[in-house]
Structure 1
Amino acid sequence: MDFSNRSLVEEYLDDPNLEKESFRKAYLDINRCNTLLGGTAITLKAIKDLIECHPKKSYTIYDMGCGDGHLLREVAKKFKNTGITLNLVGFDLRDDVIQLARDSSQSYQSISFKKADILSLDEVPDCDILLCTLTMHHFEEKEILKFIEIFSELAKVGVIINDLQRSKSAYFLFHVFSLFFIKSTIAKRDGLISISKGFRKLELKRMADNLKNVHHTITWKWAFRYLWVMKPMQPN
């Protein structure tokens, strides 16, 4: 497979006719993968770093492309006994996915979910921290440029993007990992396609250069992730 350019192959999870039960099974595998390979921990650490740099009593945190809400539940657990009040809001485009997230998060009073297209967030109020995890690779670059500009305007403390590195090594290792730890056919297939639709660091830097008045850090993380943190520049 040629990894020099991002793949244009559609993922099963992008199929508008995919059934809710198929989503549920796929997200169980995706969540397991993120836990075992440390993807969730990367985002939680980045949130903690932003909070420590901007201490407040309460934060509103958005998760764009929240899926079944797993990440927000992990955020709620991470900061449960810290004395910090969190308002956690997940956004997704599909009604059935939003319902799945609500069903899975009933015991979390700090979490809510809303239907929204991340390419059109005109009526969404500002937040403190905005998360975008394993969502960006579903879009073409021109669409990404549109919504990261919106993200940088919405988030007053910072934006945290956690997405995949595109490489032969990542592709091969996920294939081996999936033989033992991934149960659903959809998650196995989509995991490999997601890697082929992932990013190289220079591609992320090129997109970052399009945003003004934003400070960026783009860091490679195990296992084959890029953590892209955006912070609004402070006026002189």
Structure 2
Amino acid sequence: MFRSFKQRATEHELMDDYSSGGQELREALRQLRLLNRIFAAAAPTLYGVKRLWVEADKPRRFSIIDIGSGSGDVNRHILRWADENRVDLQITLADITEDACEEARILYCNEPRIHVLRTDLFGLSERSADVITGTQFVHHFAEDELSKVVESMLKASRIGVVINDIHRHWLPWAAVWLVTRIVSDNRYILNDGPLSVAKGFRSEDWLKLKDQLVGSELFYAWRPLFRYMVAIKKAG
């Protein structure tokens, strides 16, 4: 149960096994939407999107690809922000699994600004959208893969990248361990929830990434509840 948080955990999450899935995974995706609300998961992504939007002189038309989106529930907050600011927004929810894509289609069946695309990060074309977002996405990759992943996100963007991921710390780990056991008996949730915290990040991880990215401007900030928002403005 108890582990050291000095280094990122290296175990694979159950959701990383793309050969499994089905009804149990789809149930997990639905329960993850509840956990995202409990832990205010959407707020750091919106914070980063607004930052890059302002730095781009508040364009009236704006596009986002949310990579590894799951059912894409965090984007409901971005849609409300677009309404309030009269931004003509288009969001593509991109995920590698058909289960996640189908959950996203159901969730946004009446939302014409949302498009669902089954693909992985490395299948995105260059300059596919203004901003590429990844919420609870990059912790699925090993430390030696992180810079390649972020460079691929930058390549697919026109303006920059927003990363929202978990602070690796015993307190959020304990909170997630407890809450998942209160609200769920789904094995994906029970295993992957606490493990995702153990695979999360600390300030030194973002500083190391900043040194590895040549030419791009990286800003990161700790945000409630135990999350990091990383905004990376594309060079040029």
Q: TM-score, normalised by structure 2?
A: 0.90
Residues 90 and 114, structure 2, Cα contact 8 Å, conserved in 1: yes
Moved over 4 A (4+): none
2:142 pairs with one of 140, 165, 171? 140
CA shift, 1:77, in A, is 3.0
- Structure-to-structure mapping, 1:169-208, within 5 angstroms: 169-182=171-184, 184-208=186-210
Q: Per the alignment, in what secondary structure is the counterpart of residue 69 of structure 1?
A: coil
- Structure-to-structure mapping, 1:25-40, within 5 angstroms: 25-40=27-42
1:131 pairs with one of 133, 148, 154? 133
Question: 1:104/1:34 Cα in 2 relative to 1: closer, same or farther (>3 Å)?
Answer: same
> Which residue identity is paired with 2:99?
D
Q: How many residues align?
A: 233
Residues 63 and 90, structure 2, Cα contact 8 Å, conserved in 1: yes
Q: For structure 1, which runs of at least 5 residues remain unmatched after alignment?
A: none
Question: 1:207/1:49 Cα in 2 relative to 1: closer, same or farther (>3 Å)?
Answer: closer
Cα distance between partner residues in 2 of 1:49 and 1:17:
38
Identify the residue that residue 109 of structure 2 maps to in structure 1. 106
Q: Per the alignment, in what secondary structure is the counterpart of residue 23 of structure 1?
A: helix
1:94 pairs with one of 92, 97, 101? 97
> Which residue identity is paired with 1:119?
F
Question: 1:21/1:124 Cα in 2 relative to 1: closer, same or farther (>3 Å)?
Answer: farther
Q: Per the alignment, in what secondary structure is the counterpart of residue 119 of structure 1?
A: helix
Residue 216 (structure 1) aligned with residue 218 (structure 2): yes
Cα distance between partner residues in 2 of 1:164 and 1:70:
17
CA shift, 1:207, in A, is 1.6
CA offsets per residue over residues 103-135 of structure 1, 9 Å max, x none?
2211110111112221343x3543211101101
Q: For structure 2, which runs of at least 5 residues remain unmatched after alignment?
A: none
CA shift, 1:53, in A, is 3.0
Identity among equivalent positions (%) equals: 24
Residues 133 and 163, structure 2, Cα contact 8 Å, conserved in 1: yes
> Which residue identity is paired with 1:51?
W
Q: Per the alignment, in what secondary structure is the counterpart of residue 122 of structure 2?
A: coil
Identify the residue that residue 78 of structure 1 maps to in structure 2. 81
Cα distance between partner residues in 2 of 1:126 and 1:103:
24
Cα distance between partner residues in 2 of 1:84 and 1:219:
25
Cα distance between partner residues in 2 of 1:170 and 1:61:
28
Q: Per the alignment, in what secondary structure is the counterpart of residue 132 of structure 1?
A: strand
Cα distance between partner residues in 2 of 1:153 and 1:212:
13
Residues 26 and 187, structure 1, Cα contact 8 Å, conserved in 2: yes
Q: TM-score, normalised by structure 1?
A: 0.90
CA offsets per residue over residues 63-107 of structure 1, 9 Å max, x none?
010111212333223322432111111111112321221122111
Cα distance between partner residues in 1 of 2:209 and 2:123:
19
Identify the residue that residue 165 of structure 2 maps to in structure 1. 163
Cα-Cα RMSD = 1.9
Residues 215 and 231, structure 1, Cα contact 8 Å, conserved in 2: yes
Cα distance between partner residues in 1 of 2:50 and 2:119:
26
